[in-house]
Amino acid sequence: MEHTGPISVEKPFDIYRTLYRIVNYGGLIAIILWGFAGIEYKGIMQTARGTVEALLRGFVRPDVAYLTTMTIDGLPYAVLETIAIAVAGTFTSGILAIPFALLASQNIVGPHVSKVGKFIVTAIRSFPELILALIFISIVGPGAPAGVLALGIHSIGMLGKLFSESIESMDMGVKEALESCGASPFEVLFRAVIPQVSPELISYTLYRFEINMRAAATLGLVGAGGIGAPLIFAIRTRVWPRAAIIVIVLVVTVTVIDAVSGRIRKRLV
């Protein structure tokens, strides 16, 4: 019998699915509304317009003289110091992350210990580097070494996690082969595990270096060395041509480092 009228298809009504959706979407919207409710909009300051104009003028006519000041007070020195902090901090964390990563790798220490290791790594990651920088400033005094330490410790969090992921996905046959030769755990580590995962480890470390360049640029804001200190000073004293040149140089430096590091990473893996 040919059916000619409109075909109606019942859509089954699943109460749990509907509720689940309401809770999810409703919850999300509620959280966003809750967020907005707490942000006080005080209105743009009277001076904002003038400030923006001055700021833009600064970008049009940046303080080039600062860029060519080759003394310790010049911009080149601050840039170099920023890079140095990032390099030293990244290297420190790259080395320190290895034992943490091993501790977090299930195929090295077993399921129970690795859970603890993973928690430690996550915990380290949750500590903002700026707070670490402030703590280290109170310990070793203001300056670049505090910045190096802050980056060195904070980056363990991310690197430890990434390292342990690549250790967990490595070929375990090689470990077995080394053990069959009578290798000790350290020999297995240095002659089987690390040689296998080293390109990934180096690649992740370079990636972290790119992130640390940005972080190092802000450390100076709290007195831990680098380009951040003259920048915050220029902004607070509203010397816009100088703030502008620092921002421009920062953007260029970070872009160049990203490009170089990205190219090396592509060749590595």
Partner 1 sequence: MEQIVVPKKHNLRRNLTILLVAALIIGSARFAGFSIVGTLSGILRGGRLLGRMFLSPAWSYAPRVVDPLVETIRMSVVGTFIGALVAFPVAVLAAENFIRKPLISRPLRFILNIFRTIPAMVLASLFVAVFGTGAFSGVLALAIFTFGLISKLTFESIEAIDYGQVEALMSLGANQINVLRYAIVPQILPQFLSYTLYGFEVNVRAAAVLGYVGAGGIGQVFEQNLSFRRFDRVGVIIILTFFVVLAIDFVSSAIRRRLV
Partner 2 sequence: MIRFTDVSKVYPNGVRALTDINLTVEEGEFLAIIGLSGAGKSTLLRLINRLIDTTSGAVEVDGMMVNRATGRQLREARRKIGMIFQGFNIVKRMSVLSNVLSGRVAYHPTWRTVLGLFPEPDKQIAYRALQRVDILEKVHARASELSGGQQQRVAIARALAQEPRVMLADEPVASLDPITTVQVMDYLRQINVEDGITTVANLHHVDLALKYATRVVGIRAGRIVYDVPIKGLDRPQFFRDMEQVYGRPIHHDEVLGEA
Contact positions toward partner 1, by CB under 8 A? 31-32, 34-42, 44-45, 48, 51-52, 55, 80-81, 83-85, 87-88, 91, 122-123, 125-128, 130-131, 134-135, 138-141, 143-145, 147-149, 214-215, 217-218, 221-222, 225, 228, 231-232, 235-236, 238, 243, 247, 250-251, 254-255, 258
| 3-state DSSP assignment of residue 106 | helix
Residue 164 Cα distances to 14, 29, 127, 155, 193, angstroms = 42, 36, 19, 14, 11
Q: What is the C-alpha separation between 238 and 54, in angstroms, rounded?
A: 9
Q: CB under 8 A: which stretch of 123-131, 154-162, 166-174, 212-220 binds partner 2?
A: 166-174
**Please, are residues 88 and 148 in contact by the beta-carbon 8 Å criterion?**
yes
Taking residues 180 to 219 in sequence order and writing x for each that binds partner 2 by CB under 8 A, - otherwise, the string is xxxxx-xx--xxx--xx-xx--------------------
Q: How far is the CB of 107 from partner 1 (least distance, A)?
A: 20
Q: What is the C-alpha separation between 215 and 85, in angstroms, rounded?
A: 10
Residue 110 binds partner 2 (CB under 8 A): no
Residue 192: which of partner 2, partner 1, none does it interact with, CB under 5 to 8 A by kind? partner 2
Of 73 and 187, which has the nearer Cβ to partner 2?
Answer: 187
Of 105 and 205, which has the nearer Cβ to partner 1?
Answer: 205
Of 92 and 196, which has the nearer Cβ to partner 2?
Answer: 196
Torsional class of 44: left (φ above 0), alpha (ψ -120 to 50), beta (otherwise): beta
Q: What is the C-alpha separation between 194 and 190, in angstroms, rounded?
A: 5
Q: How many residues sit in the footprint of partner 2 (CB under 8 A)?
A: 21
Q: How far is the CB of 38 from partner 1 (least distance, A)?
A: 4
Q: Which of 88, 89, 113, 85 is nearest to 101 (CA)?
A: 113
Transcribe 31-72 into DSSP letters: HHHHHHHT-------TTHHHHHHHHHHHHHS--HHHHT--ST
